[in-house]
Amino acid sequence: MKIGIIGTGGIATSAHIPNYQSAGAEVVAVMNRTKEKGETVAKQFGIPNVYETVEEMLRHETLDAVSICTPNAFHKTQVLQALDAGCHVLCEKPPGISENEAKEMLQAAKRAKRTLHFGFHYRHRADTELLKRMIDAGEFGDMYATTALALRRRGIPGWGVFTDKELHGGGALLDIGVHMLDLALYIMGYPKPTEVLGHVGQYLGTRPGVGLLGEWDATSFSVDDTARAMVKFENGASLLLDVSYMANLEQKDVMRVECRGTRAGATLFPLTVHTEKHGALFDETPAYLEQHDPYARQIEHFLKACQTIPDYRQAEEAVILHHIIDRIYA
């Protein structure tokens, strides 16, 4: 398969390009608005062609698929351009910046009859895959509650556009919270939400402080550093979400999902299963679980999906995901 890369930042060079090449795909072109940056990446990975616009790349290259690794505000437009050009698309998270954008991308994927996936690599961790197999086998009974935590003690990124609402669309919720929210929904089978109670705020990001991920400009900080929510679903289940870039807590960071079923519960990460057997309570962990790179697994899964019937499931889930996020921001 011939692959084009839109955006040549850190996620492209650390996760997408090397894993496409390792999987046997041919990365034939990169696009970056600053051509010099694109040329540097192309030289590093032996990629023959560099472009400054998406339109130019899609016009001159015959591509099977593209990865979109640009700021959130550009996702929808670039996804539509690639789909309309007949490409399968893997777009970094979040899918877009609103439910309407997610709906447009879903419609475009169906119109083009092409697969559209998003960069939720936590789904592809070995412990997540094991837990999902157990849930799908019925070992947890009915899933009725999850808790999703994405917390950093002092973790505003000191690079990129993460603190710019115009380019990023949101802050902690759209950056790290979206990972654990998607994961919790994925574990639950992406039920239909009926009620969302949400709160977002700026509490610490707008004032200078200790930066464990580099220094940020507090004077131009225009996004949320905190988001909290409760979601109720049509099937009677519920979800609690707690997200923060900067929180006064003990740990440096917490990325965790807790789920409860009528037969068993579990905690990620790491995976621990909580259950009752023979009049006793058990906490069980895998004695051995073969590990793999979740980014590599994600690319392999995407490439495989591109060679079968079009896969719209993730695009459909993105509409539910963004519906919840929109309600939290509202």
List CB contacts of 183: < 8 A, sequence separation 6 or more. Answer: 120, 122, 123, 128, 148, 257, 268
Q: Where are the domains of the chain?
A: 2-121+298-309, 123-296+322-329
* Band (258; pLDDT cuts 50, 70, 90): very high
Res 256: pLDDT:
98
Tell me if 131 sits within 8 A of 266, measured CB to CB: yes
SS3 191: coil
82 is written with which tokens?
């690639």
* Band (47; pLDDT cuts 50, 70, 90): very high
Alpha helices (H) along 150-215: 165-168, 172, 178-188
- In the chain, the percentage of residues whose pLDDT exceeds 70 is 100
What is the architecture, at CATH level 2, of domain 123-296+322-329? 2-Layer Sandwich (3.30)
What is the architecture, at CATH level 2, of domain 2-121+298-309? 3-Layer(aba) Sandwich (3.40)
Per-residue pLDDT tens for 217-253? 999 999 999 999 999 999 999 999 999 999 999 999 9
Per-residue pLDDT tens for 159-175? 889 999 999 999 999 99
Per-residue pLDDT tens for 180-226? 999 999 999 999 999 999 999 999 999 999 999 999 999 999 999 99
Same topology between domain 2-121+298-309 and domain 123-296+322-329: no
Alpha helices (H) along the chain: 10-11, 17-22, 35-45, 54-60, 75-84, 99-112, 126-136, 165-168, 172, 178-188, 294-306, 313-329
SS3 261: strand
Per-residue pLDDT tens for 284-303? 999 999 999 999 999 999 99
Please give the full DSSP string across 2-17, using - where no structure is assigned: EEEEE--SHHIIIIIH
Of 267, 272, 265, the closest CA to residue 256 belongs to 267
The answer to whether the peptide bond before residue 310 is cis (omega within 30 degrees of 0) is: no
Per-residue pLDDT tens for 59-77? 999 999 999 999 999 999 9
